[in-house]
Amino acid sequence: MAKPKEKRERRGTIWSNLRWIHPERTGYGTGVQSLKEKLRYFTYRDDRDVKAPAGGRRWVDHGLGGTHREILETCQALTSDDRLAWSVMLSPKPRLMALIEQATDRREFLENLTEEVVEQWFEARGYVDPLYSYVTHDRSTSEEGLQMLHTHIILPGTVETSAGRERFDNRPTDLREFNELVEDLFELHMDQQLGKEWRTQWAAIQREEHLKKYFQAMQGEVLPANLPELAEQLYEQGFSVEQIPPRVTTPDAFNEWLASLDRNKNSLDAWFGRETR
């Protein structure tokens, strides 16, 4: 018997999800009316408080429809007994997308990624010629103030097979493999766009964010202005956030501990230097 595939930790470079919508109203987020509202929301809003440009956002049509009305009608025509549609969201880490300098390049990057994700996902599942439509949202994050490009994809509840259209279903293992595929493709596209240097920058971003969470856990209202430099100093000393001693419970205590590491290192360097002359 084949050994079950081990669950892989998500690396955090891109967030993705895949959810189905029941054709009947069985609870929140289900039913034709819910899909209709979702499609209108994707078309005319970026979030609850921000409207899309006048006229709404343009859907990229790959056979499902070019407007929210057409998409709804096609999903109703292609529904199964309990699958009206699937809703997918792809949202790369804003700080990683910011490494792509030109806004037009970022949008083209995400659109190409979105289409390849759908195509490869269907190929991996043994399906061909997926019907789907997607729209790109563009807004600022509330915390970082960076552009948060992301796409919303709609898939019908059935797929074309050699035996005709069948219900499109996804087990938990399928959903996990979908998320892994999204991460792998995003990172491959980043390699192609920027070269592998972005991976070094991503590692530094992760170190900074881990240290940020550490300071936030101290319940401090103001984060150190030199947080990136502190994260790199910690890394250069060979430490991770998990290795900070429990006694370090304030920003001042952290700075004092970090300085002591540097002093100790300098003392050892000097000592070994005298010994090797």
pLDDT digits (tens, 9 = 90+) for 168-218: 999 999 999 999 999 999 999 999 999 999 999 999 999 999 999 999 888
Half-sphere exposure of 118 (CA within 13 A, CB side): 26
Highest average pLDDT, of 54-58, 83-87, 237-241, 269-273, comes from 83-87
Structure confidence at residue 3 (pLDDT): 57
Structure confidence at residue 221 (pLDDT): 64
The yes-or-no verdict on residue 47 having pLDDT over 70 is no
The arithmetic mean of pLDDT across residues 265-277, rounded, is 47
Domain with CATH 3.30.930.30 in the chain: 14-195
| CA 81/CA 100 separation, integer angstroms | 43
Structure confidence at residue 268 (pLDDT): 43
Structure confidence at residue 80 (pLDDT): 92
Residue 94 burial (10 A CB sphere; 0-12, 13-18, 19+): middle
Structure confidence at residue 118 (pLDDT): 97
Per residue, what are the HEC states of 30-76? CCHHHHHHHHHHHHHECCCCCECCCCCCCCEEEECCCCHHHHHHHHH
Structure confidence at residue 175 (pLDDT): 93
Half-sphere exposure of 200 (CA within 13 A, CB side): 4
| CA 180/CA 202 separation, integer angstroms | 18
Among 79-83, 100-104, 150-154, 272-276, name the one with the lowest average pLDDT. 272-276
- The residue with greater pLDDT, 46 or 40, is 40
Structure confidence at residue 138 (pLDDT): 85
| CA 250/CA 43 separation, integer angstroms | 46
Structure confidence at residue 23 (pLDDT): 92
Structure confidence at residue 276 (pLDDT): 39
Facing residues of 133 across strands?
A: 61, 154
- pLDDT band of residue 48 (cuts 50, 70, 90) is low
**Angle at CA 177, nearest 5°, toward 181 and 31?**
105
Structure confidence at residue 25 (pLDDT): 86
The arithmetic mean of pLDDT across residues 63-75, rounded, is 97
CB-based contacts of 206: which residues, under 8 Å, 6+ apart?
12
Cα–chain center distance at 80: 29
Distances (CA, A) of 110 to 92, 118, 131, 141, 151: 8, 12, 19, 17, 8
In CATH terms, is domain 14-195 a member of 3.40.50.970? Answer: no
